[in-house]
């Protein structure tokens, strides 16, 4: 190589000839090409990184609106046809207008990254949608030339392997939009409370603006952010017109900035939300193949039966009564007081509302679905139902009709108007009610414990248990078949108590409680979530007679609802009220328990003397909730 150049003097000796320049450029180009081929061959498309695969589980209210998103990553992957085309166009115009024509890479972007590295600046800038998808899905977020080169090469390969639609879907599902939202579906809910398929062009343009950096373009963060977001929003809409993705006429429809929600959507499991999610997850694990492990992997869209307005109203009712009628700071008896409540729909068993206790992040046990709280006199309707359904043996009568002779197994038919005492069956008394001999209906709510102890014995406590379980209580919540069994030593949950009372409301047809209507995973509906099949538990006439007796008891207490409750004679450490109408069955319970101790505390003095050992509080909660 003739360099320095022979036969030249001064500066010309050190200036290369045009042949030398051309040769050097050719050699450099060849070296770069060889290096690129080596890198291209050496770099494969890696597996998706774990963060890109991870999704949240999303729970929905009964009306289809989003209740909460759980998990470390707030992402809900959707198909491209589930994203509004106007939002897709906004992203393409803002991020990569030549997306459908380019080869998936931006050489200028790579060159800019190299220059920025030399200058000591960040290497970000100029990436195509394909390159950004590669960064989100296959690589880290590190801003280095090495990562940028890998991104470039993988994007080239990916553009040949996947369709543009697949790449665009992947990009929209993995991009960060701020407010904790990964992917456009989560972002649509976080900013506007709607699914991505309902975004209009204005809303889509704002979400596209946040892709440039939500910390700078989320308008709710600061006035400066708001102005930047408004300007970029307008620029994106105008750019869509320039690149042919929107007409001028359509652009003219979007002159008002689409203000998003002032705050990010909370994904907290605090308040009642944690209890609702707990009930839904328990139901899923009982009726599908889902486990704690599979749920933890995320990606499930879980549609529940919970009605937001009823859940909120029930929580307000509990707080209103407990805050107004108890004073734990002044009365020791009001301390450690817990409430649980649940509402089910008698027509199908759907759980529409529940109160599980104070904030779910602070109180672990779900009081709506707990066991260990005795039902007291609220259990008596099942004893009455068993007696009406099966009758009582002839020998149970205190004054049997001689016409029956001495047939020991013959059963006597009784009604709610039958007089029954601790001595046995008296029949229907002539002349109407007798204060000394209350009817079975009268003994449901006021006094009558001794009567129902005897009635349970005569009918058969095992028969009473089978009747209660048939109505909807769980077999494992039943107490031992001792004499007091018939006056409520069993410990059903509020959900199951509401379910069993709903059987009376539906003429003896039992609908098992359910809380989830469907689960969608990867676009497919999971099996096993068909609505529970209705079952005949009681004869229609028996159910109606029990319901009428409960209504009569309610009228005596100034209400028109059919309801059972604990009473003054109960010596159990709980207070219950369960009532139903045609459309709603609700059970409320109060009890006292010290954290970490399983034994219930006495209810004496709860709410002051006028509350009758706390027995007045559950009905107040019920009435506050139902407005009856």
**DSSP string of 476-543, one letter each residue:** GG---SSGGGGGT-----HHHHHHHHHHHHTTTEE---B-EEEEEETTEEPSS-PPPPPEE-S-HHHH
Mean pLDDT of 249-273: 82
Mean pLDDT of 72-79: 80
Q: Judging by DSSP bridges, how do beta strands 562-565 and 181-182 pair with one another?
A: unpaired
Mean pLDDT of 132-148: 65
Determine the pLDDT at residue 270. 87
Summarize pLDDT for 167-225 with one digit per residue, the tens.
899 899 988 898 878 899 989 998 999 999 999 999 999 999 999 988 889 998 888 89
| Residues facing residue 172 across a β-bridge | none
**Per the structure block, which two tokens stand in for 7?**
């036969």
Determine the pLDDT at residue 101. 85
Determine the pLDDT at residue 180. 78
CATH 3.40.710.10 fits 376-516+536-626, yes or no: yes
Q: Which tops the pLDDT comparison, 370 or 201?
A: 201
CA–CA gap between residue 172 and residue 185 (Å, rounded): 8
Prior bond of 374 cis (ω within 30°): no
CA distances from 208 to 33, 93, 183, 287 (A): 36, 9, 11, 41
Closest to 372 measured CA to CA, from 471, 464, 476, 456 = 476
Q: E strand or H helix at 59, and its extent? A: strand 57-60
Residue 619 has pLDDT above 80, yes or no: yes
Residue 283, helix vs strand vs coil: helix
CA–CA gap between residue 273 and residue 280 (Å, rounded): 11
Tell me the whole-structure pTM to 2 decimals.
0.74
- Of the pLDDT bands very low, low, confident and very high (cuts 50, 70, 90), residue 406 is very low
CA–CA gap between residue 450 and residue 326 (Å, rounded): 32
Residue 540 has pLDDT above 60, yes or no: yes
Summarize pLDDT for 592-613 with one digit per residue, the tens.
998 877 789 999 889 888 777 7
Label each residue of 367-395 as H, E or C.
Answer: CCCCCCCCCHHHHHHHHHHHHHHHCEEHH
- Of the pLDDT bands very low, low, confident and very high (cuts 50, 70, 90), residue 362 is confident
Mean of the per-residue pLDDT values for the chain?
84
CA–CA gap between residue 126 and residue 124 (Å, rounded): 7
Phi-psi region of 270 (alpha: psi -120 to 50; beta: other; left: phi over 0): beta
Percent of the chain at pLDDT exceeding 90? 51
- Of the pLDDT bands very low, low, confident and very high (cuts 50, 70, 90), residue 245 is very high
Mean pLDDT of 68-75: 78
Residue 303, helix vs strand vs coil: strand
CB-based contact 600:574 (threshold 8 Å) = yes
Q: Which of 74-78, 468-472, 607-611 has the highest mean pLDDT?
A: 468-472
User: If you count DSSP H runs as helices and E runs as strands, how many of each does the chain have, helices first?
Assistant: 21, 19
Mean pLDDT of 44-72: 77
Closest to 579 measured CA to CA, from 604, 562, 557 = 562
All residues at 6 or more sequence positions from 111 whose CB lies less than 8 Å from its CB, including other chains:
none
Q: What is the CATH number of domain 70-251?
A: 1.10.3810.10
Q: What is the largest CA-CA distance in the chain?
A: 148
All residues at 6 or more sequence positions from 139 whose CB lies less than 8 Å from its CB, including other chains:
46, 49, 147, 150, 151, 154
| Residues facing residue 590 across a β-bridge | 339, 575
Closest to 84 measured CA to CA, from 176, 178, 174, 208 = 208
Closest to 114 measured CA to CA, from 103, 126, 104, 105 = 126
Determine the pLDDT at residue 399. 47
Determine the pLDDT at residue 615. 86
DSSP letters spanning 153-217: HHHHHHHHHS-HHHHHHHHHHH-B-STTEESHHHHHHHHHSS-GGG--HHHHHHHHHHTT-HHHH
Q: Which of 257-271, 291-305, 432-446, 528-542 has the highest mean pLDDT?
A: 528-542
Q: E strand or H helix at 67, and its extent? A: strand 66-70
Q: Which of 80-94, 101-115, 405-419 has the highest mean pLDDT?
A: 80-94
**Per the structure block, which two tokens stand in for 242?**
């320039």
All residues at 6 or more sequence positions from 303 whose CB lies less than 8 Å from its CB, including other chains:
60, 62, 64, 516, 517, 518, 519, 520
CB-based contact 113:148 (threshold 8 Å) = yes
- Of the pLDDT bands very low, low, confident and very high (cuts 50, 70, 90), residue 375 is very high
The number of CA neighbours under 13 Å toward the Cβ of 120 is: 0
Determine the pLDDT at residue 236. 96
Q: E strand or H helix at 307, and its extent? A: none
Sign of the dihedral defined by the CA atoms of residues 127, 128, 131, 132, in that order? positive
CA–CA gap between residue 4 and residue 16 (Å, rounded): 8
Determine the pLDDT at residue 436. 66
Domain boundary assignment for the chain: 10-42, 70-251, 376-516+536-626
CA distances from 525 to 53, 190, 350, 381, 529 (A): 19, 25, 20, 40, 9
- Of the pLDDT bands very low, low, confident and very high (cuts 50, 70, 90), residue 43 is very low
**Per the structure block, which two tokens stand in for 79?**
């198909």
CA–CA gap between residue 519 and residue 318 (Å, rounded): 31
């Amino acid at each position: 190589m003739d360099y320095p150049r022979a036969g030249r003097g001064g500066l010309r000796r050190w200036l290369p000839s045009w042949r030398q320049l051309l040769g050097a450029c050719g050699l450099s180009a060849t070296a770069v090409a060889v290096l690129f081929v080596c890198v291209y061959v050496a770099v494969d498309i890696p597996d998706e990184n774990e963060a890109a695969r991870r999704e949240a589980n999303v729970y929905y209210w009964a009306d289809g609106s989003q209740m909460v998103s759980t998990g470390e990553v707030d992402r809900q992957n959707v198909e491209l046809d589930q994203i509004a085309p106007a939002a897709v166009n906004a992203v393409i115009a803002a991020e990569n207008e030549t997306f459908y024509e380019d080869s998936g890479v931006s050489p200028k972007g790579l060159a800019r990254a190299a220059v920025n590295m030399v200058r000591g600046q960040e290497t970000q800038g100029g990436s195509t949608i394909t390159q950004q998808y590669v960064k989100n899905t296959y690589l880290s977020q590190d801003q280095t030339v090495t990562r940028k080169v890998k991104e470039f090469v993988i994007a080239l390969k990916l553009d040949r392997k996947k369709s543009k639609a697949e790449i665009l879907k992947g990009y929209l599902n993995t991009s960060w939009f701020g407010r904790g939202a990964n992917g456009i579906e989560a972002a649509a809910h976080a900013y506007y409370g709607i699914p991505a398929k309902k975004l209009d062009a204005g809303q889509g343009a704002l979400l596209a603006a946040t892709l440039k950096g939500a910390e700078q373009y989320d308008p709710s963060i600061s006035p400066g952010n708001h102005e930047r977001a408004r300007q970029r929003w307008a620029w994106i809409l105008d750019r869509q017109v320039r690149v042919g993705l929107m007409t001028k006429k359509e652009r003219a429809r979007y002159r008002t900035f689409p203000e998003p929600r002032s705050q990010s959507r909370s994904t907290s499991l605090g308040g009642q939300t944690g209890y609702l999610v707990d009930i839904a997850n328990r139901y899923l694990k009982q009726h599908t193949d889902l486990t704690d492990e599979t749920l933890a992997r995320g990606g499930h869209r879980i549609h529940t039966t919970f009605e937001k307005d009823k859940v909120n109203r029930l929580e307000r009712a509990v707080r209103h009564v407990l805050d107004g009628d108890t004073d734990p700071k002044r009365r020791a008896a009001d301390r450690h007081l817990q409430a649980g409540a649940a509402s089910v729909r008698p027509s199908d068993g759907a759980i529409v509302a529940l109160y599980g206790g104070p904030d779910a992040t602070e109180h672990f046990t779900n009081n709506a679905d707990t066991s260990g709280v005795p039902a007291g006199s609220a259990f008596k309707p099942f004893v009455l139902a068993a007696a009406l359904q099966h009758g009582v043996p002839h020998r149970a009568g205190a004054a049997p009709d001689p016409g029956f002779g001495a047939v020991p197994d013959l059963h006597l038919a009784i009604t709610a108007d039958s007089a029954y005492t601790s001595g046995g069956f008296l029949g229907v008394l002539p002349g109407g009610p007798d204060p000394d001999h209350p009817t079975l209906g009268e003994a449901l709510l006021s006094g009558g414990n001794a009567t129902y102890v005897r009635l349970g014995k005569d009918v058969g406590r095992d028969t009473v248990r089978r009747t209660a379980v048939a109505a909807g209580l769980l077999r494992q919540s039943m107490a031992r078949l001792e004499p007091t069994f018939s006056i409520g030593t069993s410990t059903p949950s509020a959900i199951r108590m509401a379910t069993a009372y709903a059987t009376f409301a539906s003429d003896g047809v039992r609908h098992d409680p359910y809380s989830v209507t469907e689960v969608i995973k990867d676009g497919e509906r999971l099996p096993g979530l068909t609505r529970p099949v209705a079952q005949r538990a009681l004869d229609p006439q028996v159910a109606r007679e029990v319901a009428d007796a409960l209504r009569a008891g309610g009228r005596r207490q100034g209400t028109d609802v059919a309801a059972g409750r604990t009473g003054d004679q109960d010596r159990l450490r709980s207070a219950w009220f369960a009532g139903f109408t045609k459309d709603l069955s609700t059970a409320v319970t109060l009890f006292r328990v010290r954290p970490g101790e399983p034994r219930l505390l006495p209810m004496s003095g709860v709410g002051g003397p006028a509350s009758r050992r706390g027995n007045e509080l559950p009905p107040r909660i019920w009435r506050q909730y139902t407005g009856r």
